Chains A and B, each alone.
Chain A
Amino acid sequence: MTRSALFRFAFKTTIPVLLGYSTIGLAYGLLLATSGLPWWLAPLSSVVIYAGAAQFMSIPLLVGGAGVAEIAILTFLVNARHLVYGLSLIKPFGEAKRVRPYLVYALTDETYGLLTTVEAPEGASKTAFYGLVSALDQSYWVLGSLVGALAGSLVPPSWTAGMDFALTALFIVLLVEQIKSSPKAAPYLVAIAASVIALAIGGPDRLLVFAIVLAMAGMLALKPIIDRRDEKGTGG
């Protein structure tokens, strides 16, 4: 397979991500620039952080002057799912060698989804395919956030008000996809209970961290029961 054929295949593979990243990256850049932060923080974050939910979440925190520790902890909680993504890619990335650090750094939800579902074309280097998909995905995100941030520094904020709902919609979409792929009810119910308790006790400002920690504790406490139900094959 020639290099240009491999590039075309990788590009075709990433078209859904192109649509998603360019628009959501655009919304991110717009939101950042219209919330009073310097526009160039958007493309910088897209290179330095490169994690959509964490970047959106960081905007109000940066505007509000939150501490470094608070942003670091929240980023950890939002990105903790990445602690386990790599588990299924340890083998596939094994032969990547020099490119591996980049592949690990660029492992977003969407890139993870593509790399674990789409096979590299026959006769092509797996490493080259992984690298192309990862780099294409990131280029859409960086360019989207750059264009959005530049537009946001020109467009009046009243035009873009409400655009941040895209993040809520994104989370709803990801939740729906999660329910489809992992339909057992227990973690969702535990998470709702944890959220209600966290809101009642800790208030709205600490909800995210408090609720996730509470839900993890709840799931660990329920482990014996859930394990038993799984053994019986009744599901949850």
Chain B
Amino acid sequence: MNANLLASLVAIFAAGLVTIACRATPFLLFGSGRIPPFLDYLQRAMPPIVMTVLVFNSYKALFPQGPSWDFAVAPMAALSLVVPGAMAALLQFWKRNALLSIVGATALHMIMTRLG
């Protein structure tokens, strides 16, 4: 087994342990008690924060970055990210069918990147 593959396996098992630890923590800590108020406040804010940052992170290529503040993508490539993303959001607000929103937006993105 080469070193890269071994490192990947170790990383996957580490990620698995971290995931199980996250899922088990509330059962281990608060199986028989109340959670402290500041943690309750933070846990309610976490899903909005995480989702917003994940979406922002998907679109970071649109922002000028690096020491020269250059844009990472050409205008057409930027459009092929923004338009399908907007379509996914609108479809989801309107129909609330996650599969339709995801497959539709991904198909549009794949078409736009091939035409562009």
Chain A interface residues toward B at CB < 8 A? 16, 19-20, 23-24, 27, 37-38, 41, 44-45, 48-51, 53-55, 58, 61-62, 65-68, 71-72, 75-87, 90, 93, 100, 104-105, 107, 161-163, 165-180, 182, 184, 186-188, 190-192, 194-195, 199, 203-204, 207-208, 211-212, 215-216, 219-220, 223, 226-227
Contacts and interface: CB of A to CB of B under 8 A. Distances in A.
A83 B49 CA distance: 14
Nearest to A18: B99
Given A62-B12, A203-B65, A227-B41, 16 more contacts: A19-B99, A41-B9, A45-B15, A48-B12, A49-B15, A50-B16, A82-B23, A87-B43, A105-B23, A168-B55, A176-B89, A177-B98, A180-B93, A188-B48, A191-B49, A216-B49
Interface size class of B (residues with CB under 8 A): 35 or more
B53 A37 contact: no
Contact of A45 (B12, B51, B52): B12
Contacts of B113: 161-162
Contact of A192 (B43, B56, B63, B96): B56
A13 to B, nearest CB: 16
A175 B52 contact: yes
